[in-house]
Amino acid sequence: MSIPNQVLLLVEDCPDDVFFMRYALKQAAITCPTHVVTDGQQAIDYLSGLGQYSDRSAFPLPTAIFLDLKLPFLNGFDVLSWLRNQPSLSQLPVIILTGSSESRDKEQARALGVLDYYVKPATPSMLRAVMESLNHVPARAPLDASRF
């Protein structure tokens, strides 16, 4: 699948799940650059272009984020809340990819305006659906929180 101009950021602390994500992307033939950070603080640093992430050519701003919820230091909701308060980043599409099927997590994520919510593991068909919907999200357009 050819996805022009998409850059993905995966926020995931479990190496196995990172592996399964990359495996599923490969199986789905999604070839866009995918950067990985392993905790909430790193995600914020990356998105802010701070410290080791200051080089935007090496660490370009993503066009979509796959975000786990249970993370060391700052969790997924902390990252989401922070994101919603950054004027330049508040429209960035976020897809939750988590081990939790708890309804309270789904509700909280929905309240914070995410594009989609998936329970791990990532599968090729799921990723194809996500990339399809990303192509239909106009850049900088307000997010429709009722999509899922």
Partner 1 sequence: MAVASPEPISKSERDELGAFQTNAAPIQDPCNGALLHLALTRDVTQQKEVQEMHRFLAAIVESSDDAIITKNLDGIVTSWNRGAERIFGYSPQEIIGRPISVLIPPDRLGEEPAILARLRRGESIDHYETVRRRKDGTLLCISITVSPVRDAEGHIIGASKIARDVTERRSAQEALRESEDRFRALADNISQLAWSATELGVATWYNRRWLDYTGTTLEQMKGRGWETVHHPDHVERVRENIQKALALGVEWEDTFPLRGKDGRYRWFLSRAVPVRDQHGEIKSWFGTNTDITELLETREALAKSHQELEDRIQERTASLQKAVSQMEEFSYTVSHDLRAPARAMRGYAKIILDDFSENLRPEAKDYLERIVRGGARMDALIQDVLTYSRLSRRDLELNPVALDKVVADVIQQYPELQPPRAQTNIRQPLLPVLAHEPSLAQVVSNLLINAAKFVPAGEIPRITVRTEVRHARVRLWVEDNGIGIKPEHQHRIFGVFERLTTDPKSEGTGIGLAIVRKAVEKMGGAVGLESDGLTGSRFWIELSPAPAYVDTESSPVAR
Binding site for partner 1 (CB under 8 A): 14, 16-17, 19-20, 23, 69-70, 98-103, 120-121
Nearest partner of 42 among 17, 75, 89, judged by Cα: 75
> What interhelical angle do 76-84 and 40-48 show, nearest 10?
30
CB of 84 to partner 1, least distance (A): 23
**Cis check: omega of the bond before 62, within 30 degrees of 0:** no
Question: CB-wise, 114 or 120, nearer to partner 1?
Answer: 120
Is residue 51 within 8 A of residue 71, CB to CB? The reply is no
CB of 68 vs partner 1, minimal distance in Å:
9
Q: What is the DSSP letter of 144?
A: -
Q: Which is nearer to partner 1, 17 or 116 (CB)?
A: 17
Please say which residue, 16 or 144, places its beta carbon nearer to partner 1.
16
In the chain, the DSSP E strands lie at 8-11, 34-37, 64-67, 94-98, 116-119
Pair 57, 49: CB distance under 8 Å: no
Tokens of 99: 């081990």
Contact assessment for residue 117 and residue 82, using Cβ atoms and an 8 Å cutoff? no
Nearer to partner 1, 102 or 144 (CB): 102
CB of 51 to partner 1, least distance (A): 28
In the complex, the smallest distance separating the C-beta of residue 23 from partner 1, rounded to whole angstroms, is 7
Tell me the closest approach of the beta carbon of residue 21 to partner 1, in angstroms: 10
Compare residues 120 and 134 and give the one whose CB is closer to partner 1. 120
